[in-house]
Structure 1
């Protein structure tokens, strides 16, 4: 299965490429008054208004001022942007390499994969943002 590897606060994360329509560079985000703290605002993506969600706020980690990419997530016809620091690469992952997390307190973290030079948490926020 293909997964997108990205960094947040020096940590590596993976998200299923099946859930991501495209990766775009961060563009001007218009704030929405009285929105939840994890709603960063709205963007105009080629004439379509897309809500942008801060992944750091969903995961409960400190947010960064250095967010370079937005993952455009899809769920049927609905689109949402996921603000992240930086996409590193797209990887082919063998599902048998996934170690399921035993700590259920960390919501949105579905498992861990160990690489020879790094460890990455697998993130699934589709239910939270749609």
Structure 2
């Protein structure tokens, strides 16, 4: 399965490429008053206004000093932006290489994968943001 490898605060993470429509550079985000701390605000992407969610705040990890990319997540007709530090590459992962997939630690955690000297956590946040 194809997954997007990205960094957040010097840690590596993977997210399924099936749930990502595109990757865009960070742009001006308009804050939303009284929104939860993980809602960073709104962006206008080619005429479509969408909510941007800070992944670090959503999964309660330290946020990066500089976020360079937004993952445009899709579920049906719904679209939301996921603010991350930086996309590294798209990688192919075999399902049998995923370890600790049944951990009950968090409802966003799908396991961990080690490949080519990299250890990355697999996150699945669609059910949290849609």
TM range (shorter): over 0.9
Tell me how far apart the structure 2 counterparts of residues 97 and 91 of structure 1 sit (CA, whole Å): 13
- What displacement does 1:41 show? 0.2
Displacement of 1:102: 5.1
Residue number in structure 1 paired with 2:22 = 22
Q: TM-score, normalised by structure 2?
A: 0.96
For residues 84-123 of structure 1, the aligned pairs below 5 Å read 84-101=84-101, 103-123=103-123
| Distance in 1 of aligned mates of 2:106 and 2:20 | 22
Q: Structure 1: 5+ residue runs without aligned partners? A: none
Q: TM-score, normalised by structure 1?
A: 0.96
Task: Name whichever of 42-51 and 99-108 sits farther off.
Answer: 99-108
**Are the counterparts in 1 of residues 113 and 119 from structure 2 also a CA contact under 8 Å?**
yes
Which residue pairs with 2:12 in the alignment?
12
CA RMSD, 1 decimal? 1.0
Structure 1 range deviating more: 53-62 or 18-27: 53-62
Deviates more, 1:56-65 or 1:9-18: 56-65
Aligned-pair CA distance for 1:101: 3.9
Contact 1:55 1:83 in 2 (8 A): yes
Q: Which residue of 2 aligns with 1:46?
A: 46
Is the contact between residue 69 and residue 83 of structure 2 (CA under 8 Å) also seen in structure 1? Answer: yes
Instruction: Give the count of matched residue pairs.
Output: 130
Unaligned runs of at least 5 residues, structure 2: none
Q: Note if contact 2:38-2:54 (Cα within 8 Å) is conserved in structure 1.
A: yes
User: What residue is the counterpart of 1:62 in the other structure?
Assistant: 62
Aligned residue number for residue 2 of structure 2? 2
Asked whether the 8 Å contact 1:59–1:107 carries over to 2, the reply is no
